[in-house]
Chains A and B, each alone.
Chain A
Amino acid sequence: AQKVTQAQTEISVVEKEDVTLDCVYETRDTTYYLFWYKQPPSGELVFLIRRNSFDEQNEISGRYSWNFQKSTSSFNFTITASQVVDSAVYFCALSEARRGGGNKLTFGTGTQLKVEL
């Protein structure tokens, strides 16, 4: 069975600090996909990134960066120079590519990030 663990329930930082959100996953499949979603206070879920299991290159998008390491089954998310608008709950998710699996996502429990002035 697939599982996603986000051990950090809540993180508080001061604006401009860097912050890393951890994600560890479990799967028996060799082909799978990892995602990060953001849920701001307004409640909607916003897609941030998708990564497949064959692509271990780190990715950077503005102040956001992701570190995927298959050896440790981790897919961590770093926000550089955090801003108040980054305050949200961040979810890591896993999808297995097999018949009937479709792109059904298993979500972690989320990390509440609070960025204060």
Chain B
Amino acid sequence: DAGVIQSPRHEVTEMGQEVTLRCKPISGHNSLFWYRQTMMRGLELLIYFNNNVPIDDSGMPEDRFSAKMPNASFSTLKIQPSEPRDSAVYFCASSQGTEYGEKNEKLFFGSGTQLSVL
């Protein structure tokens, strides 16, 4: 049973370049979350989707960040242009939660993408 799959595992890029992180949630899960982890700020929720619809993007740092979920099995997080302060581990997670959160099922996390912006 495949878990949440993220790619790439590591990304090193130069400031100003576009970066795209990818996520494949667990089949059957209808909620998808993007988190960012840094030493300074810990784990922060960037955005989450329910049934492919963005529900809350209040955690997205600024307009340089965008996320899409074109279908139930794929999501992307894009940073354009990237900056050194974007360096972090980006986690994708999925669950069988509902818009109202009645089930509040546990989140299954991917292995993360370690992003370094030089």
Q: Is the CB of A43 within 8 A of B89?
A: yes
Q: Does chain B have a CB within 8 A of A98?
A: yes
Q: Does chain B have a CB within 8 A of A88?
A: no
Q: How big is chain B's contact interface, by range? A: 20 to 34
A96 vs B99: C-alpha distance when bound (angstroms): 12
Q: Does chain A have a CB within 8 A of B43?
A: yes
Nearest residue in B to A98 (C-beta to C-beta)? Answer: B101
State which of B95, B109, B110, B114 has its C-beta within 8 Å of the C-beta of A103. Answer: B95
Which of B31, B33, B91, B109: most chain A CB closer than 10 A?
Answer: B109
Q: Does chain B have a CB within 8 A of A55?
A: no
Residues facing B in A7-48 (CB within 8 A) are 33, 35, 37, 43-47
Annotate A95-117 by CB proximity to B: 1 below 8 A, 0 otherwise.
11111111111111110000000
A104 vs B50: C-alpha distance when bound (angstroms): 11
Q: Which residues of B contact A (CB under 8 A)?
A: 31, 33, 42-43, 45, 48, 50, 55-56, 89, 91, 93, 95, 97-112, 114
Residues facing B in A61-112 (CB within 8 A) are 91, 95-110
Closest Cβ of chain A to B45, distance in Å, is 6
Q: How big is chain A's contact interface, by range? A: 20 to 34
Q: Does chain B have a CB within 8 A of A3?
A: no
Nearest residue in B to A109 (C-beta to C-beta)? Answer: B42
A110 vs B89: C-alpha distance when bound (angstroms): 15
Q: Is the CB of B105 within 8 A of A104?
A: no
Which of A46, A100, A104, A106: most chain B CB closer than 10 A?
Answer: A104
Q: Is the CB of B55 within 8 A of A44?
A: no
A76 vs B50: C-alpha distance when bound (angstroms): 30
